[in-house]
Structure 1
């Protein structure tokens, strides 16, 4: 079973709203105790001690065009996939929802795995192919200048395919082997780094129904985009629990960065007023256009330097409404006066985020175990860098204690 020893709770010390959140006691302790641990077997990643922008565990060519968060993610997940591939005798890794191919490049050109990448966006696939060429040239130059710095062994270029993967329909392209015709069929390992919404569910279903797929390493994301019903609950056990339903608001809250928010609370950052401003914007949107629900308001920069009416105008424009609409300034100022209460409410709601994520991921793990497979949840990323840091690992044959070695750091 997955490790479930708890997580480090956030603190509201240092913010004026801290006192409003007191008294939560038992409910908070219960939420903490029931959530899966989010802390991996290491603390601050040592790879960023020398330079916070460059992982010391990746050579320069693999860091180019890759932000620190993604550097950490592709290295940690790539190394886990390599170990899992070796343990299960996989001949091919399939990276589903591969985007620009950063993970695929590291697994193939860095770790020597045979990798097929599936991405539904043709523009991203073309970008991935361009970056492949760029990386190969950089590795060739490095090998000539510093032969000892380049890993020797097979150098397989990832095979990119433009392909949408449905959560309900079998994807034949996903199962096609890269080997030459006439060779034995492939043993596939499916992986997805923050596969959004139903895409993570698609990985689980392909793992279950396809004999060619013998292993899975999935990091989910965007739980609010799960089809309802259909993608939750998956397991009979969770479906049998009274009150197991998760409305949109809870699933959306489970995607927030708890550790980052705790740090912002501790420092009493002025940007916390964003929550109050966003709430005020929502009231204006509902007055103007009641049918517009859950509008995607992209981040507005430097919110703490804006007046609330300026923020609302920018927000209206971003959701396609007239920014010049007359505003009730007195009402907006009354909303702004509630800032501390909004922050306190948001803090309490966020305490449930790990618990909601635990329920969703536990449902997926139980779904696999109910069908006779072996599954475990491992905290693989530093949650401060990558909040969605739990990887669901599954195999069709028992690994025993080998599961626990997958998340350890390589020397």
Structure 2
């Protein structure tokens, strides 16, 4: 089947308007707050999103019936990359994690009643959400099967007990999508269920805010305790014991949208570096005329182009209804590392100015570094990539006997 990455005219036009909006509205606020999305007030979030709605660029990922543009994954790639030019861009367009991934999953899994209660206001930016799966050791993390939080049947519903941490956007979220074990024991590959839990539910409490390297996510990262948190049967998202299968609906696309957004920052960093190389003179010539600087600029351009190609290919597979497990793992691993290289080189080219507060490169470097860890560490993805390849060969050899 031929693969065509040429965007539709409406998508190209939306991407162009997104680029204009981000540079005119998001970038000034980013500079005002030194890129610290965590310091943004709820009032500013709403104001940014209102401006995005007025500009006609809001919620490109959400279905039209929920106020969005209904873009498929390949089309999102173009628009999300333009939004990612600024750390404040995704927040303004309501495509920042974790809300963007939750919108995608709720559209695919939620009942009609759940869509009206949770998805519609989330897609419109009226509320925020979080996704609670990661746990303190020895619980779920890179290995989701280690899930220890448990949901137990009680009359009319379920009681959730356990602890979650590094839950992005928990502060101020209206609800959480909570992964809890409903059967089996930690280590089992099944037995997990997703629950929609309102933030004001008795027994759900934010224990602390975790100080992290990055500050680019609205609501920060929190540790949450669930103690005798009782929810009704209608709070089950999807079917009981099918949580791991449903998680795949979210995880593959979410990895790709992270790649899209961070590609925007990589392009921004490269632009800053190229401008500096063109205007700064040293050793009798412009920096951009020095071979070592030229090599760094070229390597960054290669990293950006390769990351975009891998991301688009994975998105194409997702749009075809494939699991795309291998392609999303490859794209996520390469892009997470490539973006880090691009930002690091850009900072190096800018020298002392690069590590100063006069530029945002230092902020970008702190923000992109964790991407090599969340949504699957690079090492976990490499293990999975190799395991699939070797497993395929082992099966082929078995068939030949």
Normalising by structure 2, we get a TM-score of: 0.29
Flag the structure with more relative contact order, 1 or 2, with Cα contacts below 8 A and sequence separation at least 6: 1
Normalising by structure 1, we get a TM-score of: 0.28
Structure whose CA Rg is larger: 1
Please state which structure has a larger fraction of its residues in strand. 2
